[in-house]
Amino acid sequence: MTQHVSPPRGGTDKAAPVEGPPAWRVRLGRADVRTLTLLGVLAVLVLIGGITQPDSFLDTRNLQLVLTQASVIGVVTVGMTFVIVSGGIDLSVGAIVALSSVWATTVATQEYGFFGILFTAVVVGVGCGLVNGVLIAFGQMVPFIATLAMLASARGLALQITDGRTQVVTVPGVLDLAERDSYVLGIPPLVMVFAAVTVIGWLVLNRTTFGRRTVAVGGNAEAARLAGIDVRRQRLYLYLLSGLCCGIAAFLLIALAGSGQNTNGNLYELDAIAAAIIGGTLLTGGRGHILGSVLGVLIFTTITNIFALNNLQTDVQQIAKGAIIVAAVLVQRRTASTH
């Protein structure tokens, strides 16, 4: 801000045009700091893994293992990132995964084979997302409350369907998806789905009007409304999207675990939120990064992997996870304040 008051500002600016750094530098610069931080953390983890367990950590099978284990929660996290960017939260993702996985593996559903299971998982996920979306967008419910209610009822329904029993999948086509024979060029099909969801999610958030509207609603809902955006409809779509991701994740989980169980997806909501946050998505909305979220998921999965390979127990894993969340948020606050 300049000290003079008059003459009019436009004139002086024309005399000495202020040129910021070019657009690509600004954006790349910011992306770099964030992504590099996460990649740095990942690199340190790989280093630790490689030093402590050179044989079992640094091999193709372990890479396949880590990516496969990240796939299910990763797909959920992509959907969660959209919701958080819009200023909302979806606490029901784990419960939706459970309900979808259970509904899609009942004896009746399994009779319809591969596509029966896939279709049911996706439809149940989208259906739950629809209920969330309607309650939040049109029922004016706070997302925290609406999705908390969904969490409780979806888990309850999942329990009712299963009676607490494990529903084993007998459809070979589904089971094959998570077996080595179906790897293409060494890439497990589950990981391909995860990668595809990530790429599509990134494109939708960064390259489409849908993504722009999501960011606008999260950044300033009132401004978005006065700019002519249908905020309610956008919110509805976002919870549908999260539900869709849960349905896809449920299908992947069915293939991976070979069964549906009402306890599936336990605490996914917290894992997904944690991954999104360390990935640089603001919990208050308005800014989010799909790649950051995915890196967050990979960091968590890698930690679990390294700890398991070193035969360290659950308590230590949980402590490390908490420390990483705090560290990542602190680092990001530092980098954010320098911009």
Partner 1 sequence: MTKLTSRRGLLFGAAAVSAGAVLTGCTSNDPDGGDDKAADTQPAADDKPGKPVTIGYAGPQADHGWLNAVNEQAKKRAEKYSEVTLEVTEGSNDTAQQIGQIETLINKKVDVLVILPADGKALTQVGLKAMRAGIPVINLDRIFNSPQAYRCWVGGDNYGMGLNAAHYIGEKLKDKSDAKVIELAGIDNLELTQQRTQGFDDGLKNYPNIKKVARQAAEFTVESGQAKMAQLLQAQSDFDALWNHDDDQGVGALRAIEQAGRDDFLMVGGAGALSAFQAIKADSGVLKATVLYPPTMAASAIDLARALGQGKGVSGLAEFEIPSTVTCYSAVVDKDNVDQYMSTGFK
Partner 2 sequence: MAPEPPLLSMSGITKSFPGVRALDGVDLDVQAGEVHCLLGQNGAGKSTLIKVLAGAHQPDTGTIRWRGEDVTLRSPIAAMRLGIATIYQELDLVEHLSVAENVHLGHEPTAAGFVVRGRAAKASTAELLKRLGHPEVDPGRLVGDLSAAQQQIVSMARALSHDVRLIVMDEPSAALDPDEVDNLFRIVADLTADGVAVVYISHRLEEIRRIGDRVTVLKDGRAVAGGLPAESTPTREVVALMTGRNVEYVFPERPAEPPAAEPVLKVEGLSRQGEFAPLDLEVRPGEIVGLAGLVGSGRSEILETVYGARKATTGRVLVGGQPLRPGSVRAAVRAGLGLAPEERKAQALLMLESVTRNVSVSAMSRFSRGGWIDRGAELGAAREATRELSLRPDNPAVPVRTLSGGNQQKAVLARWLLRGCRVLLLDEPTRGVDVGARAELYAVIRRLADEGLAVLLVSSEVPEVLGLADRVLVLREGRVVHEAPARELDEPRVLDLVMEGSPAS
Q: Which residues bind partner 2 (CB under 8 A)?
A: 1, 4-11, 13-14, 17-20, 22-23, 26-27, 207-210, 212-213, 215-216, 219-220, 222-230, 286-287
168 phi and psi, to 5 degrees?
-80, 135
Give yes or no for residue 141 binding partner 1 (CB under 8 A).
no
Residue span 219-258 as binding mask against partner 1, x where in contact by CB under 8 A, dash where not? ----------------------------------x--xxx
> What minimum distance in Å lies between the beta carbon of 4 and partner 2?
7
Q: What are phi and psi of 92, to 5 degrees?
A: -95, 5
**Rounded distance, CA 15 to CA 12, Å?**
5
Nearer to partner 2 by Cβ, of 117 and 282: the residue is 282
CB 326 → partner 1: shortest distance, Å? 22
Q: Which is nearer to partner 1, 45 or 217 (CB)?
A: 45
Q: What letter represents residue 306's amino acid? A: I
Report the C-alpha gap between 297 and 306 in whole angstroms.
Answer: 14
Q: Please state the closest distance from residue 218 (CB atom) to partner 1, in A.
A: 31
- Residue 211 tokens read as 């993504």
**Beta-strand relationship, 259-260 and 167-168:** antiparallel
Say whether residue 54 binds partner 1 (CB under 8 A).
no
Which residue is it, tokens 């409350």? Answer: 145
Residues in the chain: 339
Binding of residue 309 to partner 1 (CB under 8 A): yes
Q: Identify the burial level of 7 via C-beta atoms within 10 angstroms of its C-beta, where 0-12 means exposed, 13-18 middle and 19 or more buried.
A: exposed
Q: What are phi and psi of 258, to 5 degrees?
A: 65, 20
Nearer to partner 1, 61 or 334 (CB): 61
Residue 284 burial (CB count, 10 A): 10
Nearest distance from C-beta of residue 125 to partner 2, angstroms:
22
Cα–Cα distance, 56 to 63 (Å, whole number):
10
Identify what 105 binds: partner 1, partner 2, none; CB under 5 to 8 Å per kind.
Answer: none
Among positions 109, 262, 281, 302, the unique one binding partner 1 when judged by CB under 8 A: 262
Which distant-in-sequence residues (6+ apart) come within 8 Å of 88 by Cβ?
A: 136, 143, 218, 235, 238, 239, 285
Residue 210, contacted partner among partner 2, partner 1, none, CB below 5-8 A by kind: partner 2
Distance CA 165, CA 82 (A): 33
Q: How far is the CB of 203 from partner 2 (least distance, A)?
A: 9
User: Given the complex with partner 1, which of 25 and 180 has the nearer CB atom?
Assistant: 180
Residues that bind partner 1 (CB under 8 A): 53, 55-56, 61-62, 65, 68-69, 159, 163-166, 168, 178-180, 253, 256-259, 261-266, 304-305, 308-311, 313-315
